[in-house]
Structure 1
Amino acid sequence: MKKLVLLSFAALLIMACQQKDTRYTQNSSEIDVVKKHIENYNTKNYDTSIMADTCKSYFNTKNKPILRKDIIAYHKANDANYTKRGFLSEDQEFEMVVTDNGETWVNAWLDWRATLKESGKVVDMPIHLTYRFIDGKIVREVGFWDPTEIVLALQEIEAQRNITVE
């Protein structure tokens, strides 16, 4: 009986020490892909090879995605408004989670800064990005931020143009 208790205890101890699947981490190959994606954005090297062909990007929307084939044009159109723009290197936070359904997501909290081309106004804003991965590729990109300051600044620039024309 004593041997049975000791054997049972040893079996429980071994099972308890076995490594479980990682459900949360701040270091993963998927996080490295997102960091490279951020670096590519900052250097205007729009490399979509890390995205699946079917990838959809949702920026401040939940029902109007930008398709992978259109994402470069989207960024270039926005770049026309800035002399410089990009994510700041300080205070970046990344995490990877595996959901109860087995989906792999990487979350990023970043600060973004841009200088408007026509006014020289500098805008800083926090941005949250999240990426769903399948087989090492981004299949969904979601970003949320408050664009109010930029929208108002661009409207002010447009109003100044209209006053000058009249």
Structure 2
Amino acid sequence: MKQLIYVLAAGLFAVSCSNPNATLVTFDDENTVAIRAHIQNYLENDVASMTERWSEDLVVKGSTLDGAVDLAVAQSAISLHHVLFSDISITAPDSDEDFYAETTTYKDSGETWTKIWFSWNGTGNFTGNTVSNMNMIGFRWADGKIAEEHHFSDGAAFAAEVAAFEASQSAAE
């Protein structure tokens, strides 16, 4: 009888572990690898390569944005980052290690998201301030392209750099 109970328990355990409706998290899949390349393109200010991964209908939302922005604004924002800041790097929080990335496929909704957590580091070209901000970005995939991004960070340093840039432009006139 004891053996029968063990066999039934083991069988139930095996069946419960093979749930086809479970959420799947991966760390080295094609989407995670693509986002690592996407971030490298960002660091190199290679907007053309980034654009190859974005859907034409890209929507970007964030904690420092009022509403959402589209592909054209996202492209311009990347270039603006490199006007405002130099020595841009992306590392794991409080470390010089590589940033954390994972891709999650949600079985209930069918959506696939790649999420990254990192410290964004740079030096302001107009304020001279050294900046290190904790960030999280979620990238939603559709038809092999990034269809949606959600950015979460403190935008104070970026706003200060924009203000210093605008002041320098006014002074030059």
CA distance in 2, matches of 1:153, 1:68: 23
Cα deviation, residue 110, structure 1? 0.9
Give 1:26's aligned amino acid. F
Aligned residues: 160
Matching residue within 75, 80, 83 for 1:80: 83
Distance 1:75 1:29 in 2: 23
Partner of 1:60: 63
- Bigger-Rg structure (1/2): 1
State the Cα RMSD in Å: 3.2
Q: Using structure 1 for the length normalisation, give the TM-score.
A: 0.75
TM-score, normalised by the number of residues in structure 2: 0.73
Contact 1:123 1:150 in 2 (8 A): no
Unaligned runs of 5+ in 2: none
**How big is the shift at 1:142?**
1.1
Q: 1:28-107, aligned counterparts within 5 Å?
A: 28-46=29-47, 47=49, 48-61=51-64, 64-88=67-91, 90-99=97-106, 100-107=108-115
Structure 1, unmatched stretches of 5+, are none
- Matching residue of 2:149: 141
> Per the alignment, do residues 15 and 65 of structure 1 end up closer, same or farther by CA in structure 2, a change over 3 Å counting?
same
Paired with 2:60 and 2:157, the residues of 1 have a C-alpha distance of 22
- 8 Å CA contact retained: 1:41, 1:86: no
CA-to-aligned-CA distance 1:64-104 (integer Å, 9 cap, x gap): 22211332212212322123323236251111112231111
